Amino acid sequence: MQSRYTFGGDEHLFVECSDEMSLDAFFKSLSMAKGVRDSAIKGVTEICPANASFQIKFNPDIIKPDDILKEVKAIEGAAEKAEPVLKTRIVEIPVFYNDPWTHETLMRFRERHQEPSGTDLDYAARINDFASVDDFVTAHSGSPWFVSMVGFVAGLPFMYQMVERQRQIEVPKYLRPRTDTPRLTVGHGGCFGCIYSVRGAGGYQMFGITPMPIFDPTQTTSYLRDFMVFFRPGDIVKFKPIDRDAYDQAVEDVDKGAFYPPIREVTFDLRAFQKNIAGTNANLEGMLNGH
């Protein structure tokens, strides 16, 4: 996997590890981004890892573009040899699928959708060959997801489901982006799932909503007191379907400061995962449930 290097103006170096998405590309991008951080190259002001690429912002008054290019290229070899092992955490996120708020929003923007007569869930289930919306939800919540990028807006996770490629859910984005998306909508576009951290524009298909805030600039949410952004690249997410009563209860708990998502520290080895996807995922879920 040879990376492609290009400049974004005179202040950004853009490195694309692969033009298609895979966990190999994600691990290489994360490993290179970490290598750049560890090597503390002078003049680097920001390092932004993405799904299969990353971006460095630098100050060309301190380091010449050609010099930073050389330094980062030198890191690529080492990153490729790095063990694809990640010490990370798995977190369970409750999701109220087919909720009234995203439903109201998707109806309001129906004329921007590929299938104006149905819902986003109907559409996603059908084009991914599921017999019913329930089967689709079972697949969506049945296997864990990697947080492969944090961004777009404050703290929004892009997530890549940890299943064989032929089982991955793929949907197009809306024909024209919406101007409104409820906060904490669980969405999907291309092969990526996401949770909208704040209310605003969006183009992903909308499947449900979580009661669990993931960005809080006031830092008053119980589990966001240390930092206002919940997710980091490499986090593993398992969705848990909940009904309206459980959703209302969770919202109340969040407001009272009594909501704590189940989180466990885990080690993830990409090679072990690729040898045995179902077994690795079962282990991860076992750890989440305290086994």
Partner 1 sequence: MAIKVLHHGLSTTVQDLGRPGYFHLGIPIGGAMDRLAMRAANLLVGNEENAAGLEAVFMGPKMEFTKDALVAVTGADMPAKVDGVAQPGWTAFAVKAGQTLTFDFLKSGARIYIAIAGGIDVPVALGSRSTYPIGALGGFKGRALAAGDELPLGTANAGIAGRTVPEALRRMPGNPAELRVLPGLYWDRLTDDAKESFFADAWKVAPEADRMGYRFRGGRKLSFIDRTQPFGAGSDPSNIVDSCYPYGSIQVPGGTEPIILHRDAVSGGGYFMMGTVISADMDLIGQLQPHTPTRFIKVTMEEALEARTERAKLIAAIRQSLS
Contacting positions for partner 1 (CB under 8 A): 6-12, 14, 16, 18-22, 45-55, 57, 60-61, 65, 149-156, 158, 160, 165, 170, 172-173, 189-192, 197-198, 200, 215, 217, 228-229
Q: Which is nearer to partner 1, 7 or 101 (CB)?
A: 7
Q: Which is nearer to partner 1, 151 or 241 (CB)?
A: 151
Torsion sign (Cα): 100, 105, 110, 114: negative
The CB-of-186 to partner 1 minimum distance in angstroms stands at 16
Angstrom CA distances, 109 to 39, 104, 175, 181, 201, stand at 47, 9, 11, 10, 11
Q: Which is nearer to partner 1, 156 or 237 (CB)?
A: 156
Q: Which is nearer to partner 1, 215 or 223 (CB)?
A: 215
The CB-of-158 to partner 1 minimum distance in angstroms stands at 6
- Amino acid identity, residue 112? R
137 in helix, strand or coil? helix
The CB-of-16 to partner 1 minimum distance in angstroms stands at 7
φ/ψ of residue 288, rounded to 5: -60, -40
Q: Which is nearer to partner 1, 106 or 214 (CB)?
A: 214
Instruction: Tell me the pairing of strands 185-189 and 192-195.
Output: antiparallel
Q: Which is nearer to partner 1, 88 or 98 (CB)?
A: 88
> Do 143 and 236 meet the contact criterion of CB atoms below 8 Å apart?
no
253 in helix, strand or coil? helix
The CB-of-140 to partner 1 minimum distance in angstroms stands at 17
Rounded Cα distance between 19 and 218, Å, is 38
Cα angle, residue 147 at apex, residues 55 and 213 outer, rounded to 5°: 110
The CB-of-289 to partner 1 minimum distance in angstroms stands at 29
